[in-house]
A and B are shown apart, each in its own frame.
Chain A
């Protein structure tokens, strides 16, 4: 037997033209990249060049291993087919380059046979992936995919490149009939259908078509969705390594402008994000605002901002060069509407499911910041919340002195009673002022007393954690509150803070470190689960009927706390727990996050109604929640929809009932 190999550029006179074509492709490619880089550089500085090792790991996990894409099984696998096919075929081409141009002889013998087999099979896998994608986009047409001009080019282009590749392989094999033909099963199968006398001609024609189409493909990358093959891993590399969802802090004393009014006021990374979007629509699928007919779609938001960047680009580049003053063109009212911006509940579902690691929420808050801090424009209902936060340190504008009134008639230790507690209990505004949520506070007091936990509350000295202010864009009020609370915590010497509100939990844990406040923060669900596990709390089993747990966004997606509340409920349901249609990282917001708790919901259907319908559909008797906003929103939904038989209950109340 001959040594298995093949003659490179067999049957192709003038093959050196490939270098000229490649050079052209590279120039067009480089120019395309340069055009985008210029736009990103219009943005503000953002330090994303630190911690190289950690960033590489994130890129490998989310990008190379496709962890994010594979969260959707079927589409994820189809993407995996195209992705792995493309990588293997690129490596294969690279090996040809090594042999042809660097004279490293590798494509012979046993290695060549395996090389032939692997490339042949991955070519087939790639082809199947492309065919699946074509059927899905052009025939099935799911709502989240729209067809833009680019889509009419890319998939057919890739399909043609693959088909011509197989045809030229088949033609070559038909003409040369190698002994080892079975190592290229697809090529061999095609070869069988080709008339040997015409094989050489066909081979030569297909070779040139395949080569030119491939070069077009390379050149087209930075001008099309194919750009995602570079942008997405790069964007993962630059992903925020801060606590998830932590919003940037602002220098209020020394800034001239606040938030983002015009597109170039975003950071370069935020502009980079815009070019990383592949328009898959996973964000939109998960968005509670979009799914209840609000004008917001996270996908549309990113694409509209990208269009705005392209529209403003030439002018901004000109002023940047000449040093003239920029005449701002506000984004709000042009590329993005006020209603879109205010519809966001900051639930983080879009960001969680974005395979490109795009950071949507910060952008929305940046736009809100400019509206609130520069123009004083915001939904009128927030006026009362802001005033309340400023004068009475709570968004309901109840008298600050009445903050501890909920403790009347029950045993709750204050810092005055117990100056050296193990845990400082940060009650939060909802738990202190809202009648529905006060019941949670009372229940938690009962639990803590029963388990002999050494705790104390701040009483009237506590102030709002600042979450509604920060997430509605009022950074000024947020910083005022955060600084006051950090100072207060430090005065008390508190190390561990318990809170029953996921919003307080998130802000104190993830955002107070920006104000020099590092504390161990424990959500009451974690503490209660621990008390049950250690036997300090004994609960009768099987007390609840059919129960489910509604994930709070700020516990689940923000902090990966999915199990503690479920474990608590399970102790009382003999280990059984139903899941609603949306749960864990795909859970559906109650509608109260992002200061939406304090705004009216005028547009579309109500988010809380949509969510409670899931509980009704699952025929749940008890819906456990672990957040005062969820509690209020979902209880209201039960009342408004007149759903009988669903009890929305805070987990602490459920537990306290059994004591």
Chain B
């Protein structure tokens, strides 16, 4: 069995984001880039199959040389080999990214492709379903439980009403939702191996970008919170404020 995971680098959730002068991109300097948190679930699921079923694991990441760190993180966790699809500039168009990766993935002859359900920077949730379309494979998105058998998978996804149980034949595509597993912390051996890991770099041409980011702006500043007081004595004032100022009750 061969399991491929797609990973991406994203700014760390705690990083201060600054918009650059063009208002169409963020300032990269002083930003810590990390593996997209949902991709960590994807990597962990692949590693579980590597350990339980002897699956071969490969991680693929689109990006510039800076993204090598993310691939090294995948190796540190235990992924066997890593490929970077070289692109100089970040792509904000889901379809362009999907087409770019599809070229590489088509040749990889995998049984299972696992991705995070979305990247936390653009949050489009498009890549998995689009790859399904481009590669002509079934895609189950937002999976919280996965069982892999010979030739098929059974996945659970949470809908608003309850749990859906879906079966698909392999090869197929899975996108990972929080709750699928608990990503591991790399062992020191893994980290040392990651330092020496060989990263295969594939050149691919970025096709026709059909979607353009025309502007970025900061979210509105949060309002100020006021502590009214402590204990029972504060209740009348709180009620008054909720009624008269917030008009909530």
Which residues from chain A sit less than 8 Å from chain B, CB to CB? 252-253, 258, 373-376, 378, 380, 383, 386-387, 391-392, 397-402, 476
Which residue in A252, A378, A399, A402 is a CB contact (below 8 Å) of B188? A252
Interface hit among B11-19, B120-128, B152-160, B166-174: B11-19
A252 to B187, CA, bound (A): 12
With a cutoff of 8 Å between Cβ atoms, the chain A residues found around residue B30 in the complex are 401
Given contacts A252-B192, A399-B12, A402-B14, 12 further A-B contacts (CB under 8 A): A258-B188, A374-B187, A375-B187, A383-B185, A386-B185, A387-B185, A391-B34, A399-B16, A400-B15, A401-B15, A402-B16, A476-B188
**Size category of the binding interface on chain B:** 10 to 19
A400 vs B185: C-alpha distance when bound (angstroms): 21
Give the residues in chain B near A398, CB-CB below 8 Å. 14
User: In the complex, what distance in Å separates the CA atom of A376 from the CA atom of B184?
Assistant: 7
Q: Are A399 and B14 in contact, CB atoms less than 8 angstroms apart?
A: yes
* A-B CB contact pairs (8 Å), 14 listed: A373-B188, A374-B189, A375-B187, A376-B184, A386-B185, A387-B185, A391-B12, A391-B32, A392-B12, A397-B14, A399-B12, A400-B14, A401-B15, A402-B14
In the complex, B132 has a CB within 8 A of chain A = no
By beta carbon, the residue of chain A nearest B184 is A376
Which B57-94 residues have C-beta < 8 A from chain A? none
- In the bound assembly, the distance between CA atoms of A569 and B184 in angstroms comes to 47
Q: Which of B118-175 contact A (CB under 8 A)?
A: none
Closest to B31 in A: A401
Residue among B16, B184, B185 having the largest count of chain A Cβ atoms under 10 Å: B185
Chain B residues in 8 Å Cβ range of A374: 187-189
Distance of A573 from chain B, by nearest CB (Å): 28
Using Cβ atoms and an 8 Å threshold, which residues of chain A touch B182?
A: 380
Most chain A C-beta atoms within 10 Å of own C-beta, residue among B182, B187, B188, B192: B188
**Per-position contact with A for B88-104: 1 when CB-CB < 8 Å, else 0?**
00000000000000000
Which residues on B sit within 8 Å (CB–CB) of A400?
A: 14-15, 32
B2 within 8 A of A: no
Cβ-closest chain B residue relative to A393: B32
Q: A401 touching B187 by the CB < 8 A rule?
A: no
Residues in B with CB closer than 8 Å to A375 are 187
Asked whether B188 lies within 8 Å of A392 as measured between CB atoms, the reply is: no
Closest 4 CB pairs of A and B: A399-B14, A373-B188, A401-B16, A376-B185
Count: A-B pairs, CB below 8 Å: 43
| Given A391-B12, A399-B14, A476 and B191 contact (CB-CB distance below 8 Å) | yes
Complex interface: chain B residues within 8 A of A373 (CB): 187-189
- Please, how many angstroms separate the alpha-carbon atoms of A399 and B186 in the complex? 22
Shortest CB-to-CB span from A431 to chain B, Å, is 18
Given the known interface contacts A392-B32, A401-B30, the answer about A376 and B16 at a Cβ–Cβ threshold of 8 Å is: no
* A402 proximity list for chain B (CB < 8 A): 14, 16
CA–CA, A383 and B32, complex, Å = 18
Find out whether the CB atom of A376 lies under 8 angstroms from the CB atom of B187.
yes
A374 to B184, CA, bound (A): 12
Query: Known interface pairs A373-B187, A376-B187, A380-B182. Does A399 touch B15 (Cβ–Cβ under 8 Å)?
Result: yes
The minimal Cβ–Cβ distance linking B197 to chain A, given in whole angstroms, is: 16
Contacts of A399 in B (CB 8 A): 12, 14-16
Hey, what's the 0/1 contact readout for B45-65 against A, CB within 8 Å counting as 1? 000000000000000000000
Query: How far does the Cβ of A179 sit from chain B's closest Cβ, in whole Å?
Result: 79
A378→B15 CA distance, assembly (Å): 26
Q: Mark B24-39, 1 if CB is under 8 A from A, else 0.
A: 0000001010100000
Q: Are the CB atoms of A392 and B14 closer together than 8 Å? A: yes
List chain B residues, Cβ under 8 A from A383: 185
User: A342 vs B29: C-alpha distance in the bound complex, in angstroms?
Assistant: 39
Which single residue of chain B is at the shortest CB-CB distance from A253? B192
Which residues of the partner chain A approach B187 to less than 8 Å between Cβ atoms? 373-376
Q: Give, as a whole number of angstroms, the nearest-CB distance from B98 to chain A.
A: 28
For residue B188, which residues in chain A have a CB less than 8 angstroms away from its CB?
252, 258, 373-374, 476
Residues of B within 8 A of A376 (CB): 184-187
Q: Nearest Cβ distance between residue B101 and chain A, in whole angstroms?
A: 26
Q: A391 to chain B: which residues have CB within 8 Å?
A: 12, 14, 32, 34
Chain A residue nearest to B30 in the complex (CB): A401
Cα A378 to Cα B187 with chains together (Å): 11
Q: Which residues of A contact B14 (CB under 8 A)?
A: 391-392, 397-400, 402
Distance from A370 Cβ to chain B, minimum over Cβ atoms (Å): 10
Q: How far is the CB of A383 from chain B (nearest CB, A)?
A: 6
From B16, which residue of chain A is reached at the shortest CB distance?
A401
Q: Chain A residues near B191: list those with CB within 8 A.
A: 476
Chain A residues whose CB sits within 8 angstroms of the CB of B15 once the complex forms = 399-401
Residue of B with least CB distance to A394: B14
A397 to B34, CA, bound (A): 13
Q: Of residues 169 to 216 in B, which have CB atoms within 8 Å of A's CB atoms?
A: 182, 184-189, 191-192
- Report the separation of the CA atoms of residues A387 and B205 in the bound assembly, to the nearest whole angstrom: 35
Residue of B nearest to A259 (CB): B188
Nearest-CB residue, chain B, relative to A257: B189
> Could you tell me the distance in whole angstroms from the C-beta of B74 to the nearest C-beta in chain A?
15
What is the minimal beta-carbon distance from A379 to any residue of chain B, in angstroms? 11
How long is the Cα–Cα vector from A399 to B184 in the complex, in angstroms?
A: 22
Cβ B185 vs Cβ A378 within 8 A: yes
Chain B residues with CB below 8 A from A378, complex form:
185
Closest B residue to A388 by beta carbon equals B14
Residue ID in chain B nearest A378 by CB atoms? B185
Chain A proximity of B31: nearest CB distance (Å): 9
Q: Name, among B14, B34, B186, B192, the residue most crowded by chain A CB atoms within 10 Å (CB to CB).
A: B14
Residues of A within 8 A of B189 (CB): 373-374
Closest A residue, CB atoms, query B190 = A376
Alpha-carbon distance between A376 and B47 when the two chains are bound, in angstroms: 14
User: Shortest distance in angstroms between A654's beta carbon and chain B's nearest beta carbon?
Assistant: 22
B39 to chain A, nearest CB (A): 14
Separation of A378 and B182 alpha carbons in the complex (Å): 13
In the complex, A400→B34 CA distance in Å? 14
Bound: A378/B34 CA distance, A? 22
> For the complex, what is the distance from the CA of A376 to the CA of B188, rounded to whole Å?
8
CB distance from A403 to the nearest CB of B (A): 11
Q: How far is the CA of A373 from the CA of B14 in the complex (A)?
A: 26
CB distance from A389 to the nearest CB of B (A): 11
With both beta carbons as reference points, the residue of chain A lying nearest to B186 in the complex is identified as: A376
Nearest neighbor of B191 in chain A, beta-carbon distance: A476
Which of A252, A374, A375, A391 is the most central at the interface, judged by chain B CB atoms within 10 Å of its CB?
Answer: A391
Nearest-CB distance from A656 to chain B (Å)?
22
Bound-state Cα–Cα, A383 to B185, Å? 7
Q: Residues of B contacting A380 with CB < 8 Å? A: 182
Q: Return chain B residues, CB-CB under 8 Å to A253.
A: 192
In the complex formed, the residue of B with least CB distance to A258 is B188
- Once bound together, how far apart are the Cα atoms of A387 and B15, in whole Å? 14
Alpha-carbon distance between A397 and B14 when the two chains are bound, in angstroms: 7
Which residue of chain B has its CB nearest to the CB of A387? B185
Q: How far is the CA of A476 from the CA of B186 in the complex (A)?
A: 11
A252's nearest neighbour on chain B, judged by CB, is: B188
A375 to B30 CA separation, bound complex (whole angstroms): 33
Q: A375 to B34, alpha carbons, bound, how many Å?
A: 23
Shortest Cβ distance from residue A632 to the other chain B in the assembled complex, whole angstroms:
19
Chain A residues lying within 8 Å of B12, measured Cβ to Cβ, are 391-392, 399
By beta carbon, the residue of chain B nearest A386 is B185
Rounded to whole angstroms, the CA-CA distance of A252 and B188 in the bound complex is 8
CA distance A400 to B184 in the complex (A): 23
Chain B minimum-CB-distance residue to A476: B188
Cα A250 to Cα B179 with chains together (Å): 36
Determine the chain A residues whose CB is within 8 A of the CB of B32 once the complex forms.
Answer: 391-392, 400
Nearest Cβ distance between residue A199 and chain B, in whole angstroms? 75
Report the Cα distance A253→B34, complex, angstroms: 24
Q: Which residues of B contact A258 (CB under 8 A)?
A: 188
- Nearest-neighbour CB distance to chain B for A132, whole angstroms, equals 52
Residue of A nearest to B14 (CB): A399
B110 shortest CB reach to chain A, Å = 26
Report the minimum CB–CB distance from A174 to chain B (whole Å): 75
Alpha-carbon separation in the docked complex, A253 to B188 (Å): 10
CB distance from A152 to the nearest CB of B (A): 47
User: Whole-angstrom distance from the CB of B96 to the nearest CB of chain A?
Assistant: 28
With A and B bound together, what is the CA distance between A252 and B193 in angstroms?
12
